[in-house]
Amino acid sequence: MVSGTATQKTPTRLVLTRIPDSWAWMRPDLLVRLLPFTVAYTIAYAASGSAGWLGLGFGNLAAQLVFAAVAAPAMFAAAAAVQLLLTRRRGALSVPSGPDDAWFQAGFYAVNGPIEEAFFRGLAQGGISIALGAPTGFVIATAVYVLYHRLGRWTWPDTLATALVGVPLGLAFWLLPGPPSLLGVSLAHIAATCGFLGPGPYLLQKMRLV
């Protein structure tokens, strides 16, 4: 008879954050990342004579809103599920300590999402698509979007997980009917980020999944 002990699950280490903790990384992030992205997009928009390929318009408004209505909740749920899988792998997760910080982070992601979309989908994908064709623009811009997360010292699993955002949003920017628009992809991006960071982990903790 072979005796043994049951394998015990290692508890997840939760790093609880408050608004000052979140603001400590948001403040430099605004200056070193989001501000340069905004300046680059603004210069391109002015230099191009408000070119439509940059996506600063409603496009086909009905198509954009339908896409956002479907993609936003789906991407929030998918991002939270991916975060849960990665958390169980790494054994640690940063979680807002209360709803105030969860909402504070959500507000930041509501700014971050459109700016990243403007830079990576509008400027990068739109510009490369005009120069080299839409498929090439999609591939290059999506690869750059995914890999740039390594600059923020994300682990490789977390970095590669951003392809679950970059690929569908890049395809949507390219393939949705009507002129290119950042509207639908920006709303979906905000939802995906909120599922992966801040509000998503907060809900996972409240549901006792981590």
For residue 9, the model assigns a pLDDT of 55
Which residues pair with residue 14 across a beta bridge? 93
Report whether 96 contacts 105 (CB < 8 A). Answer: yes
Enumerate the domain spans of the chain.
15-206
Q: What is the mean pLDDT of each run of 10 residues along the chain (210 residues)?
A: 42 94 97 97 96 96 98 97 94 96 98 98 97 97 94 88 95 97 98 97 95
Please report where in the chains the tokens 């507000």 appear, as a residue. Answer: 107
For residue 87, the model assigns a pLDDT of 95
For residue 146, the model assigns a pLDDT of 95
For residue 15, the model assigns a pLDDT of 95
For residue 200, the model assigns a pLDDT of 98
Of the candidates 201, 202, 198, 208, the residue with the CA atom closest to the CA atom of residue 22: 198
For residue 151, the model assigns a pLDDT of 85
Long-range interactions of 129-132: CB distance < 8 A, separation 24+: 129/53, 129/174, 130/53
The predicted model scores a pTM of 0.92
For residue 10, the model assigns a pLDDT of 62
The CA distances from residue 164 to 5, 62, 142, 160, in Å, are 39, 24, 10, 8
